[in-house]
Amino acid sequence: MPFDPVILWTDALIYLLVIIVVSFAWHVRNDEHLLAPWRRVTHSASGMSALTVLFFFVTIGLLDTAHFRLALDHKNSQGETVYSVEVLSLLDVLVTPLRNNVEKTYSAPLATHLYSKETIDLPDGSRIRTFARLEFGGAHLQNPEIEHQADIQWRILIGIGYGLIFWGFLVASLCLILARRCQQNFLQCLNTIWRRKTEVPWHAILITLAIILSLIGATYMLATNYHVLGTDKVGQDVLYQSLKSIRIALIIGTLTTLIMLPFALLLGIMAGYFRGWIDDVIQYTYTTLNSIPSVLLIAAAVLMMQVYIETHPELFETIAARADLRLLFLCIILGITSWTGLCRLLRGETLKLREMEYIQAAHAFGVSHWRIITRHILPNVMHIVLIATVMDFSGLVLAEAVLSYVGVGVDPSMISFGTMINAARLEMAREPMVWWALMSAFGFMLTLVLSANLFADAVQNALDPRVQTLTHKYKILRRSQKNSLTPSKQANTLNHSTNRPKRDS
């Protein structure tokens, strides 16, 4: 079927971010000095497990970023193809049953009947008030009271089996690749992995993959005939809403960081390097900005943008384009209001670096300020930038949920964790209580944020020079205890390791 590709503003920025990440990875791959710290990241079992989970989240987000419009059956008066106003993504195509199977109203997870009673007309003309059958959920069952539980258990087991079969194929492929690289046979390589003798914790990655693939397999088998996480007030599948919310969370967490970095890098390094009146102006700027309540500033900016969108409807062809512009503006406002913390850190680190001997020598030789900043200051503060970027991601994801909850976040037509929580707020107060929408948003958001935090810890442990120094001291102490050194020799060893000059990161 013909389609018209649609590139939204946030889509273009996501593509740009992917290009930047791939270029940075290629640059690091060809530089042994830069590659060494990232190799330490791959030695963390918790960090690699978290990265495996994040890989699936990022994959879903990228699939939901490729947008297009389908062509309609008729053409206009000029004979041109007319396209639908509905903007779809590759994720929508993959989960078409979840998107199209809409019920009347609420239904519990894996249910076969509606969650509330309604009046049904019987064939004999009488009426009865009972729980009506769902149109799609469990529609294949002839006798739900008897077949329901057995059907669910059978589908879960079959789905887990499919997931483990695919997992076994991945394990076999990995062992063949590692065996060829290490010149071992298949069984020796498999034994090495499960005995945890490899530098990269493949056992942790494979265990995480087994759990994820089992969940995906079971969910796929159930989702073909049930609503796995139930439906909302208008009968839309909650699992579909949760999957669509992932892209918004990733955009808020990544694009806001992309917007924040130029402000923090430029102003933080300038304040610490030039000092004087430049430092005073920059400090006054971010101190004033921090004194303004961020929620009020964001609310005012979003409302101003909303007024502009409503007064200029001719600028937007589709509802998705209008909602995307509001999302982009929200990322810009969050980026402008969240650069101050990283700017403070970079200012303090630059104040320390500018007093180092090699910086003073560069000044003595007449090296320009721009060359000193780009060749000596910037590379030595990049570990702070990377650590702060990864650790701020989870905070920005939670910020979107809070802002959407209070009504100043993303457009109401857009599905996000914040809008799901806001919609579930009133549902929690009804009787019987509708709990699954809130729990689904909470579960997906908790998994995403927890994985980001664990990976951030691994990055910090690998890139932070202070953590590396403490780790080096601990290794020296363990080695001295193992060799049965006297206390005086142990102290001399630790003092020698402490006074060792640090290399530039």
Q: Model confidence at 209, in pLDDT bands (50, 70, 90)?
A: very high
Name which residue leads in pLDDT, 153 or 378.
153
Q: Hey, which of 27-36, 361-370, 419-428, 486-495 has the most confident mean pLDDT?
A: 361-370
pLDDT reported for residue 159: 93
Q: Name the strand (E) or helix (H) holding 280.
A: helix 276-291
Instruction: Say which range, 165-169, 280-284, 424-428, 440-444, has the weakest mean pLDDT.
Output: 424-428
Q: Which of 57-66, 71-80, 179-188, 489-498 has the weakest average pLDDT?
A: 489-498
- Residue 263 corresponds to which tokens in the numbers above? 């402000």
Q: What is the pLDDT of residues 270-279, one digit of tens each?
A: 988 888 888 8
* pLDDT per residue as tens digits for the range 236-266: 899 999 999 999 989 988 888 888 888 888 8
- Residue ranges of alpha helices (H) inside 75-143 are 90-94, 96-100
- Position 162: which residue type? Y
**What's the mean per-residue pLDDT of the chain?**
82
- What residues pair up with 107 in beta bridges, in sequence order? 231
Looking up tokens 């060893």, which residue turns up?
493
Q: What is the mean pLDDT of residues 416-423?
A: 84
Going 441 to 443 to 448 to 452, the CA torsion angle's sign is positive
Q: Yes or no: say if 171 and 192 are a contact pair by the CB < 8 Å rule.
A: no
DSSP states of 231-263 = B-TT--BHHHHHHHHHHHHHHHHHHHHHHHHHH
Average the pLDDT over 339-343 and give the result.
Answer: 86
Residue 488 vs residue 336, higher pLDDT: 336
